Amino acid sequence: MSDLKTQFEAAVAESKNLSERPDNATLLKIYALYKQATAGDNADKKPGFGDMVGRAKWDAWNNLKGTSTDEAMQQYVDLIESLS
């Protein structure tokens, strides 16, 4: 297992134990980086106007299209470390 993958998994665990809840924009970034790191580019259908949360999450993830798995993992690790 790569060192980056180990760091990423540790950051995922740490993200559940942050001392305070991040703002919504930061939560969307955490979500999007996690999805990009674990699932790759967004291929899901865009949610409708009635699902504002789903739409915001879809947009945040879709904005990372083309970001490599390793780059998304590193950005995730860096973001969680900055919040800890």
Q: Which CATH number fits the domain that encloses residue 52? A: 1.20.80.10
- pTM for the whole structure: 0.92
For 55-66, write each residue's pLDDT tens digit. 999 999 999 999
Phi-psi region of 40 (alpha: psi -120 to 50; beta: other; left: phi over 0): left
Residue 2 is predicted with a pLDDT of 76
Domain with 37, as residue range(s), is 3-83
Q: Which residues of the chain have pLDDT under 50?
A: none
- Written as one string, the DSSP assignment of the chain is --HHHHHHHHHHHHHTT-SSPPPHHHHHHHHHHHHHHHH-S--SPPP-TT-HHHHHHHHHHHTTTT--HHHHHHHHHHHHHHH-
How many distinct structural domains can be found in the chain? Answer: 1
